[in-house]
């Protein structure tokens, strides 16, 4: 019955609390990425820079652990609910953020804490569409997923912009690299407080569902089997393998990419502008997708717009005719890349939930994140080997991958659920 469905204002409280803990788990992911060279000086003698367990591994660990924990995390969210799933992630975030803060001067302690935080991440990120379908009607889910993804980008842009300000990040200044332990303590206290807030405010579901499709879902393994039979889901998994993989690689290696362009200061501006573009795109594009009730169109725009951004970032020195103007081109290109590829993410999550229905939402989202983490791990490992000697080769590879993604996204069909929703809003012909 129509009267059985109702919207509750508390849905925005749940979403806001979820956004807070999402921001913080992303901050913990990339604490060392924008200051990698300064961190190498701070932790000098505590690790072998030529081994895999170096500064870049602190970022790569999230992707490595995600491969193992992603499916179990989605199973727990789908079977026991978002309060249990996100609750596990929040508790782990609080515990290991504080451990990282108190032991910030020891590379081994930081590495162990980072692995614990990496376990927490999928319990949080895999819950986006599960929260939107439990609390939001279909006409608001693209927007809600966009805001949840916006939180991821806000976390990353915060760490890119703020972290270099909290330490001595310029090699020309005395005490280069100092302040990292203090920075980790600040982040640890804030992360623990935000995780406790999420535990208190996030509830499982409203008293009555927001719409009818929230009522019927397959069990986890039946849903997984159903997803892998869907043609559009297979295409979407490939698209996330490419798009999210490139995003993860650029985010994790932003300081090394800056060094390859001849930028000496670990100021993180390339990463900041990429995330700034993503923040704007994650707000604007999902809202437009909901307004016009189109998913495929905006996925095409996202993957199409990614291509010039990747080209500019990969060939900045060539396009500028030398190193002098390469930095400016890299900054503009990173903004374009962020705006389009990061706005495609939340629309892709919601599209997947719609085309794979009645499979559980966190299962489809977890598979897409897993796909992007696998490729990100491969790309980061390749870019960081032999002291980052192959970064330029991988940047050119990103251009080829972006072209492939653009061709493949055109093969998607429009979401049947959003088409049905669109028909509800058309005037009836008498």
Residues 216-235, mean pLDDT to the nearest whole number: 75
Instruction: Please report the pLDDT score of residue 354 as a whole number.
Output: 82
Domain-embedded: residue 2 = no
* Inter-CA distances, 145 with 28, 84, 128, 181, Å: 21, 20, 6, 34
Instruction: Please report the pLDDT score of residue 110 as a whole number.
Output: 93
Q: Between 359 and 65, whose confidence is greater?
A: 65
Instruction: Please report the pLDDT score of residue 263 as a whole number.
Output: 65
Judge whether residue 291 has pLDDT over 50.
Answer: yes
Instruction: Please report the pLDDT score of residue 336 as a whole number.
Output: 92
Instruction: Please report the pLDDT score of residue 132 as a whole number.
Output: 85
Count the neighbouring beta carbons within 10 Å of the beta carbon of residue 190.
Answer: 16
Domain-embedded: residue 429 = no
Domain-embedded: residue 186 = yes
pLDDT tens for residues 161-209?
A: 888 889 887 777 788 878 899 999 999 999 999 999 999 999 988 888 7
Alpha carbon distance 43, 210 (integer Å): 51
Grouping H, G, I as helix, E, B as strand and the rest as coil, residue 197 is: helix
Residues 347-374, mean pLDDT to the nearest whole number: 80
Alpha carbon distance 229, 234 (integer Å): 8
pLDDT tens for residues 147-156?
A: 888 898 788 8
Judge whether residue 424 has pLDDT over 80.
Answer: no
Instruction: Identify the domain containing residue 314 by its residue range.
Output: 7-210+218-422
Domain-embedded: residue 428 = no
Average pLDDT over the chain, rounded to an integer: 83
Instruction: Please report the pLDDT score of residue 218 as a whole number.
Output: 55
Q: Between 278 and 25, whose confidence is greater?
A: 25
- Tokens at 407, concatenated: 């061709």
Instruction: Please report the pLDDT score of residue 428 as a whole number.
Output: 40
CA angle (301 as vertex; 407, 238 as ends), nearest 5: 45
Alpha carbon distance 262, 259 (integer Å): 5
Judge whether residue 211 has pLDDT over 90.
Answer: no
Q: Residue 85 — very low, low, confident or very high, per pLDDT cuts 50/70/90?
A: very high
Q: Between 51 and 423, whose confidence is greater?
A: 51
pTM: 0.74
Number of domains in the chain: 1
Residues 327-332, mean pLDDT to the nearest whole number: 84
Residues 51-71, mean pLDDT to the nearest whole number: 82
Domain-embedded: residue 297 = yes
Name 394's Cβ contacts closer than 8 Å, sequence gap at least 6.
249, 379, 382, 383
Q: Residue 137 — very low, low, confident or very high, per pLDDT cuts 50/70/90?
A: confident
Instruction: Please report the pLDDT score of residue 102 as a whole number.
Output: 95
Question: Which stretch of 322-326, 389-393, 404-408, 418-422 has the lowest confidence by average pLDDT?
Answer: 418-422
Q: Between 392 and 401, whose confidence is greater?
A: 401
Instruction: Please report the pLDDT score of residue 322 as a whole number.
Output: 64
pLDDT tens for residues 89-112?
A: 999 999 999 999 999 899 899 999
Domain-embedded: residue 122 = yes
CATH number of domain containing 129? 1.20.1250.20
Domain-embedded: residue 430 = no
Instruction: Please report the pLDDT score of residue 112 as a whole number.
Output: 94
Instruction: Please report the pLDDT score of residue 415 as a whole number.
Output: 81
Alpha carbon distance 66, 71 (integer Å): 9
Domain-embedded: residue 408 = yes
Q: Residue 236 — very low, low, confident or very high, per pLDDT cuts 50/70/90?
A: confident
DSSP 332-391: HHHHHHHHHHHHHHHHHHHHHHHHTTTS-HHHHHHHHHHHHHHHHHHHHHHHHHHHHTTH
Q: Residue 28 — very low, low, confident or very high, per pLDDT cuts 50/70/90?
A: very high
**Which of 100-114, 205-219, 221-235, 377-391: highest mean pLDDT?**
100-114
């Amino acid at each position: 019955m129509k009267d059985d469905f109702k919207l509750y204002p508390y849905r925005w409280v749940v979403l806001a609390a979820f956004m807070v803990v999402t921001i913080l788990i992303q901050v913990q992911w990339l604490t060392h990425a924008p200051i990698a060279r300064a961190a190498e000086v701070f932790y000098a003698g505590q690790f072998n820079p030529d081994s895999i367990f170096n500064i870049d591994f602190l970022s790569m660990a999230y992707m490595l652990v995600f491969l193992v924990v992603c499916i179990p995390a989605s199973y727990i969210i789908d079977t026991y609910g978002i309060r249990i799933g996100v609750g596990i992630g929040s508790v782990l975030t609080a515990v290991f953020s504080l451990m990282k803060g108190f032991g910030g001067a020891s590379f081994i302690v930081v590495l162990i804490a980072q692995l614990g935080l990496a376990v927490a991440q999928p319990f949080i990120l895999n819950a986006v569409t599960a929260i939107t379908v439990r609390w939001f009607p279909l006409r608001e889910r693209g927007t809600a997923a966009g805001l949840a993804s916006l939180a991821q980008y806000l976390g990353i842009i915060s760490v890119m912009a703020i972290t270099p300000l909290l330490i001595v990040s310029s090699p020309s200044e005395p005490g280069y690299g100092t302040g990292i332990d203090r920075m980790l303590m600040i982040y640890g206290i804030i992360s623990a407080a935000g995780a406790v807030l999420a535990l208190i405010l996030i509830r499982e579901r409203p008293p009555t569902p927001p719409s009818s499709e929230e009522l019927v879902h397959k069990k986890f393994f039946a849903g997984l089997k159903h997803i892998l039979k869907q043609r559009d889901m297979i295409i979407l998994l490939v698209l996330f393998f490419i798009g999210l993989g490139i995003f993860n690689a650029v985010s994790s290696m932003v300081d090394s990419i800056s060094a390859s362009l001849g930028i000496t200061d670990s100021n993180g501006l390339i990463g900041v502008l990429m995330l700034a573009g993503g923040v704007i795109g994650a707000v604007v594009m999902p809202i437009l997708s909901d307004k016009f009730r189109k998913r495929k169109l905006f996925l095409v725009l996202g993957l199409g717009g990614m291509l010039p951004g990747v080209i500019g970032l990969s060939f900045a020195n060539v396009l500028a005719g030398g190193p002098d103007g390469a930095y400016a081109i890299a900054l503009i290109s990173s903004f374009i890349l962020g705006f389009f590829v990061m706005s495609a993410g939340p629309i892709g999550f919601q599209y997947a939930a719609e085309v794979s229905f009645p499979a559980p939402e966190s299962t489809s989202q977890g598979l897409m994140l897993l796909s992007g983490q696998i490729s990100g791990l491969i790309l980061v490992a390749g870019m960081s080997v032999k002291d980052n000697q192959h970064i330029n080769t991988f940047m050119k590879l990103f251009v080829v991958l972006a072209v492939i993604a653009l061709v493949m996204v055109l093969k998607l069909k429009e979401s049947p659920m959003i088409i049905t929703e669109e028909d509800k809003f058309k005037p009836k012909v008498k």
